[in-house]
Amino acid sequence: MEHYDITVHGARELLESKQISAAELTESVIGRIDSVEPQVQAYMTLTEDVAREAAAAADKSLSSGDTTPLTGIPMQIKDVMSTKGIRTTCSSLMLENFVPLYDATVVERLYARGPVLMGKGNMDEFAMGSSTENSAFHPTHNPWSLDRVPGGSSGGSAAAVAAGECLFALGSDTGGSIRQPAALCGVTGLKPTYGLVSRFGLVAFASSLDQIGPLTKDVEDSALVLNAIAGHDPHDSTSIPGERPDYTKALTGDIKGMRLGIPKEYFGDGIDPAVDAAVRQGIKTLEDAGAVVEECSLPLTSYALAVYYIIAPSECSTNLSRFDGVKYGFSVDDATTAWETQEKTRARGFGPEVKRRIMLGTYALSSGYYDAYYMKALKVRTLIRQEFEEVFKRFDALITPTTPTTAFRIGEKTGDPVAMYKSDTLTIPVNIAGIPCISIPCGFSEGLPIGMQVMGKALSEESILNIAYTYQQSTDWHTKRPTL
Cα–Cα distances (Å) from 411 to 407, 408, 416, in that order, read 12, 9, 10
Which residues contact residue 44 at a Cβ distance below 8 angstroms, ignoring those fewer than 6 apart?
79, 87, 89, 91, 119, 120, 121, 122, 123, 135, 137, 156
| Active-site option among 92, 177, 239, 314 | 177
The count of other CB atoms within 10 Å of the CB of residue 326 is 12
H/E stretch holding 168 reads strand 168-172
- Provide Rg for the chain, Cα atoms: 21
The count of other CB atoms within 10 Å of the CB of residue 297 is 13
| Active-site option among 21, 78, 82, 457 | 78
Residues constituting the chain: 484
Closest among 190, 171, 125, 197 to 356, alpha carbons compared: 125
Which residues contact residue 17 at a Cβ distance below 8 angstroms, ignoring those fewer than 6 apart?
none
Bridge-based pairing of strands 448-455 and 397-401 is antiparallel
Give catalytic status of residue 376 as yes or no. Answer: no
Which residues contact residue 336 at a Cβ distance below 8 angstroms, ignoring those fewer than 6 apart?
none
H/E stretch holding 58 reads helix 48-64
**DSSP string over 286-318:** HHHTT-EEEEE--TTHHHHHHHHHHHHHHHHHH
Give catalytic status of residue 153 as yes or no. Answer: yes
**DSSP string over 195-236:** TTB--TTBPPSSTTT--EEEEESSHHHHHHHHHHHBS--TT-
- Residue 430's φ and ψ, nearest 5 degrees, are -60, -40
Give bridge partners of residue 81 from the DSSP assignment. 202
Closest among 166, 286, 274, 255 to 215, alpha carbons compared: 166
Closest among 64, 221, 237 to 229, alpha carbons compared: 221
Closest among 191, 175, 89 to 129, alpha carbons compared: 175
3-state secondary structure of 443: strand
Give catalytic status of residue 177 as yes or no. Answer: yes
3-state secondary structure of 347: helix
C-alpha to C-alpha distance for 239 and 233, rounded to whole angstroms: 6
Strands (E), 30-85: 43-46, 74-78
| Active-site option among 92, 130, 135, 153 | 153
Which residues contact residue 441 at a Cβ distance below 8 angstroms, ignoring those fewer than 6 apart?
183, 186, 187, 188, 449, 450, 451, 452, 477, 478, 480
Which residues are the active-site residues? 78, 153, 177
